[in-house]
Structure 1
Amino acid sequence: MAPGGTGEGHSVVVEVNGVVRGARVPGRRLLSDFLRHDLRLTGTHVGCEHGVCGCCTVLLDGEPVRSCLTLAVTVTGRAITTVEGLADGEEMSPVQRAFAECHALQCGFCTPGFLCTATALLRDNPRPTEEEVLEGVSGNLCRCTGYQNILRAVRRAAELMAGEG
């Protein structure tokens, strides 16, 4: 039985970052808690616990979702990518490299959610306009950076993915 649960629980089996993982969890276990506590993938951060801040954003079958609003039992059999799965082995993804290069983080708490959001944005729209970048990340909150370096990093990631420098 998973920590904090009672009774038998529910079996949740998912592909996380390319690896099939699973645990027995209470029916009310949030995906964010399943990832952090049951699977020990602590890169997914939990901020507001109301789906407002975007810190807990992960990719579910490639689409950004708020893991603090998603029940773990609803994702069984699906594929999840967390911030830990964005890199290719030891090689950072273009989005991760751009965030580091453009100093698009300060405390880093919101960064995993921004990285997952930007990854999906650039997959769907490899050459976004300024307005599309702003709209694409508008669901994620940052209390430190003022957003300019985050927006710059998303544009830089698009350049890196296009092979431009």
Structure 2
Amino acid sequence: MFSALSKSGGITVARYSLRVNGERHEVDVEGDTPLLWVLRDELGLTGVKYGCGVGLCGACTSHVDGEAARPCVRTTADSTRTRITTIEGLSRTGDHPVQRAWRELDVAQCGYCQPGQVMAAAALLARDPDPDDAAIEEALRDNVCRCGSYPRIREAVRRASRLIRGEDR
């Protein structure tokens, strides 16, 4: 949903209506503005990290209609009829099973990639609450952790899986 606002110098700014973290937001931007910058700069959702800008590192991973997606390569115009969830909207209190597992296992080192890792893991567990190691690897393979926390990340996904299935408390 959008409406044209102004055009100057060949640039058209329009008003776009986005559903982010369960709330409706109106933003005035160019339609080809990457969703990442709208989330960060217009809505102040800085948990969505800028890593590469080309969809390769996973630092910006968020959910679009429940699936892991990269807002750095998705335009604002293409996001108007979707449900967008960022790390801030995964759980208002930080008690989502994936977040809990991350804390309990002290996964983060520098922490920069962790919101994207958490969101990729949460999307996986929403569609498969008992993934095998191959499914975990597949879901997280394009999320880069420069600190090398991969063993703890995988263990945290397994722990979150057990929490979701009620096997751990």
Deviation at 1:72, TM superposition (A): 0.8
| Aligned with 2:75 (options 71, 78, 85) | 71
Match of 1:39 among 37, 40, 43: 43
Query: 1:91–1:48: structure 2 CA closer, same or farther, 3 Å change rule?
Result: closer
Number of residue pairs matched? 161
- 2:57 matched to 1:53? yes
- Whichever residue aligns with residue 128 of structure 1, its letter is P
- Give the secondary structure class of the aligned counterpart of 1:96: helix
Is the aligned partner of 1:160 residue 2:163? Answer: yes
Residue 145 (structure 1) shift: 3.1
Q: Distance in 2 between matches of 1:95 and 1:139?
A: 18
- The percentage of aligned residue pairs carrying the same residue is 40
- Whether 2:9 is the aligned partner of 1:9: answer no
**1:98 has 2:101 as partner:** yes
Question: Contact 1:10–1:73 at 8 Å: present in 2 too?
Answer: no
The answer to whether the 8 A contact 2:14-2:30 is kept is: yes
The C-alpha deviation readout for 1:80-137, integer Å capped at 9, x for no partner, is: 00000111x3252000000111122111110111111101100111101112111111
AA of the residue aligned to 2:118: L
Q: Which residue of 2 aligns with 1:28?
A: 32
CA distance in 1: counterparts of 2:93 and 2:61, whole angstroms: 22
Structure 1 ranges of 4+ moved more than 2 A: none
Checking the alignment, whether the CA contact within 8 Å between 1:11 and 1:73 is kept in structure 2 is no
Flag the structure with larger Rg. Answer: 2
Matched residue SS, 1:42 = coil
Supply the distance in 2 between the matched residues of 1:132 and 1:147 (Cα, whole angstroms): 14
Task: For structure 2, list consecutive stretches of 5 or more residues without a partner in the other structure.
Answer: none
Paired AA for residue 28 in structure 2: R
Identify the residue that residue 83 of structure 1 maps to in structure 2.
87
User: Which residue does 1:112 correspond to in 2?
Assistant: 115
TM-score by length of 1: 0.92
TM-align CA RMSD: 1.7
SS in 2 for 1:68: helix
